[in-house]
Amino acid sequence: MKNLSPVRSKEDIFHHYRETPVGLLLEYHNLERDYEIYTQAQLLVGMCMDHRKHLHIPDNFSYIIRAGGANLRHSEFKVSYAIAVGGVRNIALIGHNNCGMVNLATKKEAFVKGLSENAGWEEEKAEQHFDQFAPMFEIGNERDFVVSESQRLKLRYPKVLVAPLLYNVDDNQLYQIAGD
């Protein structure tokens, strides 16, 4: 994926993320920084619900919202709560490669068949369900979506640092997006 910047040392962390909870996230996850003790969340992580991703972070370090494609459009009250009541001032929005929310139309047949066989749905109802919701959850491509969603959140919460990141499921590393 283009414009991805790896974090293999502390110096690789973009300057505007250094000495912030986003920088700490990158240090904890990619650089195996020793865990500190937290009693209050330092940031909000918005990430995909995909089972192949696991963050290496200390307890109590972060609120985490998991939603398909890291799409927080339908979780905005939870984002607002983490900021307003939880006091977080940093958001890491983490997409990942090979996301199931990309090109959903190609998954319609499997979706309908799966709901029918696994959940007992009538095929017609499963198809209607897919047709109603797939357009809301289609993300296009992972990189562009996480950048556009982070820009939307920056406009919505102008005092909050929002960092678009990508998780590579092949090497389990977080990557910064250059030019976000």
pLDDT for res 123: 96
Query: What would you measure as the largest C-alpha separation in the chain, in angstroms?
Result: 55
Q: Which residues of the chain have pLDDT under 50?
A: none
Span(s) in the chain for CATH 3.40.1050.10? 4-100+142-177
pLDDT for res 180: 57
Regarding the domain with residue range 4-100+142-177, which homologous superfamily does it belong to in the CATH classification?
Answer: Carbonic anhydrase (3.40.1050.10)
Q: pLDDT above 70 covers what percent of the chain?
A: 98
Angle between helix 108-119 and 123-137 (nearest 10): 130
Angle at 79 between CA 162 and CA 136, to 5 degrees: 90
pLDDT for res 19: 96
Angle at 20 between CA 19 and CA 22, to 5 degrees: 125
